[in-house]
Amino acid sequence: MEQYVIKGGLPLVGEVEIGGAKNAALAILAAAIMTDETVTIDNLPNVRDTNVLLDAIAGIGAKVDRVDSHTVKINGSYIDCLCVDYESMKKIRASYYLLGALLGKYKQAEVALPGGCNIGSRPMDLHIKGFKALGAKVEIKGGAVSAKAEHLEGTHIYLDKVSVGATINILMAAAMADGKTTIENAAKEPHVVDVANFLNSMGANIRGAGTDVIRITGVEKLHKAEYSIIPDQIEAGTFMFAAAATHGDVLVKNVIPKHLEATTAKLLEAGCRIEEFDDAVHVVAQGSLENTQVTTLPYPGFPTDMQPQMAVVLGIAHGTSTVTESIFENRFKYVDELTRMGADIKVESNIAIINGVQQYTGARVSAPDLRAGAALVIAGLAAEGITVIDDIHFIERGYEEFPAKLREIGAQIEKVATEKEIQKFTLKVS
Ligand code: EPZ
């Protein structure tokens, strides 16, 4: 079983380059099958989730050519199956984007229902509500969602909850429906905008992405396109929090600062100095860290995907902080692990009450999910002593070359596979 081993206590100093956004890439890869022409996508993050989804896309017959580790060509004209099996869904929830893409293009699709996930139940009721509103007959049977329609008719859809997945899935189905569709209370995340821009580059007619009302005029066909994925705001924020927790000085490059406004605001409140450039953010955290209050909200609020990372920083800040998780019902699983590193955190319902401690101490911990795993890496970098992190496959779902990028800015971290390698690392850094 592979692990990360970290010797903490060193400030991160230097420059790091951010990759393409995983959560934009997953939707864009699915949308790419909606044309029978070839689509070229670059600045793709080379992470487990995108590679698993590309396998699922090849699995339904589409032609997938990996030009290099960050560029792929997809041609949907070879698709010979309109169902995505449970194996694919089990590995990556976002395979459900193929439901919207296949329904939009072929007016038929069947996708295994995604299993639960470590951060909450992750229902699909809003996705299904949208497909039904467009005229599809949707059934859940045998653990799969099947959707079918003679034709899809544009309509007005109000999302009871702000949902990134439902907004994007409905957007894709409506892009090739007859007539106009309005999605109200739509998600405004940068990756929703990126998917809309991508579909428009293929000839779709989508207006208002990034606001809470998106208007789509369906088109008959979509055509070839070349597209570059936006930078990953969550990877960028993760490095910003790592700089803060280690009292470092890091220039985070290839970012869109506007996408990081909530993160920047909270790091300023926590006592960091932040300088913004056109495509970079400079985080300096050589002073002490101060307490603050955070509530996760849909974009442009503070992202739920940065909640664990923020909590790790506040865990070694002066005073008492609170972190309120308003999006998912089970996103504090890292707290038990962090407590083993000396944190003083109490979770009451969806609020974590954090009493800052002087410093974390290294320990053996397990990554409970993707972002919590990244947060434990940050805790290990800030801790005194050695930290070993198990279940790093969660982390590798969304962070490309994470240890290598951290070593570039001074971290002592390695990916190991045996106790012997842990001992070797410990000897080397002591
Ligand atoms: C996307 O998940 C992201 N995943 C998540 O990132 C992210 O945390 C989440 O958006 C919120 O920003 C991808 O983009 C692949 P939602 P998604 O639908 O679309 C409820 C990561 O770390 N809901 O916006 O599944 C849901 O239970 C991952 O990269 C319904 O009730 O999230 C949640 O409480 C983790 N019914 C809320 O809406 C539905 O039909 C927001 O979920 C759909 C969602």
Q: Give the model confidence (pLDDT) of 292-308 as tens digits.
A: 999 999 999 999 999 99
Q: What residues contact 181, with CB distance under 8 A and at least 6 apart?
A: 134, 154, 155, 156, 157, 170, 174, 215, 216, 218
Please name every residue paired with 7 in a beta bridge, in sequence order, or none if there are none.
386, 412
Judged against a pLDDT cut of 60, whether residue 278 lies above it is answered with yes
Answer whether 395 contacts ligand 1 (Cβ < 6 A).
no
Using CA positions, which residue lies closest to atom 13 of ligand 1?
Answer: 23
- Give 39-49 pLDDT, tens digit per residue: 999 999 999 99
Conformational region of residue 241, where left means phi above 0, alpha means psi within -120 to 50, and beta covers everything else: alpha
Using CA positions, which residue lies closest to atom 4 of ligand 1?
Answer: 23
Give the whole-angstrom CA distance, residue 302 versus residue 261. Answer: 9
Answer whether 192 contacts ligand 1 (Cβ < 6 A).
no
Q: Indicate the pLDDT class of residue 232, thresholds 50, 70 and 90.
A: very high
Q: What's residue 95's pLDDT?
A: 85
Q: What residues contact 116, with CB distance under 8 A and at least 6 apart?
A: 122
Which atom of ligand 1 lies at the shortest distance from residue 164's CA?
Answer: 24
Answer whether 126 contacts ligand 1 (Cβ < 6 A).
yes
Q: How far is CA 398 from the centre of its chain?
A: 7
Residue 99 corresponds to which tokens in the numbers above?
């439901």
Annotated catalytic residue within 81, 83, 117, 272: 117
Closest CA relative to residue 114, chosen from 127, 132, 133, 129: 127
Answer whether 95 contacts ligand 1 (Cβ < 6 A).
no
- Is 117 in the active site? yes
Judged against a pLDDT cut of 90, whether residue 86 lies above it is answered with no
Q: What's residue 115's pLDDT?
A: 60
**Residue written as token pair 């001992």:** 423
Judged against a pLDDT cut of 60, whether residue 390 lies above it is answered with yes
User: Of all helices (H) and strands (E), which one includes residue 272?
Assistant: none
Phi, psi of 92 (to 5 degrees): -150, 115
Q: Indicate the pLDDT class of residue 142, thresholds 50, 70 and 90.
A: confident
User: What one-character DSSP code corresponds to residue 425?
Assistant: H
Q: How far is the CA of 327 from the centre of ligand 1 (A)?
A: 8
Q: Are 317 and 285 in contact (CB under 8 A)?
A: no
Q: Indicate the pLDDT class of residue 84, thresholds 50, 70 and 90.
A: confident
Residue 43 corresponds to which tokens in the numbers above?
């600045």
β-strands 213-217, 205-207: how paired? antiparallel
Judged against a pLDDT cut of 90, whether residue 116 lies above it is answered with no
Residue 44's alpha-carbon distances to 28, 100, 109, 150, 341, in angstroms, are: 10, 21, 26, 35, 35
Answer whether 57 contacts ligand 1 (Cβ < 6 A).
no
Across the chain, how many H-helices and E-strands are there?
Answer: 14, 24
Residue 255 DSSP SS3: coil
Q: Residue range 209-229: average pLDDT?
A: 98
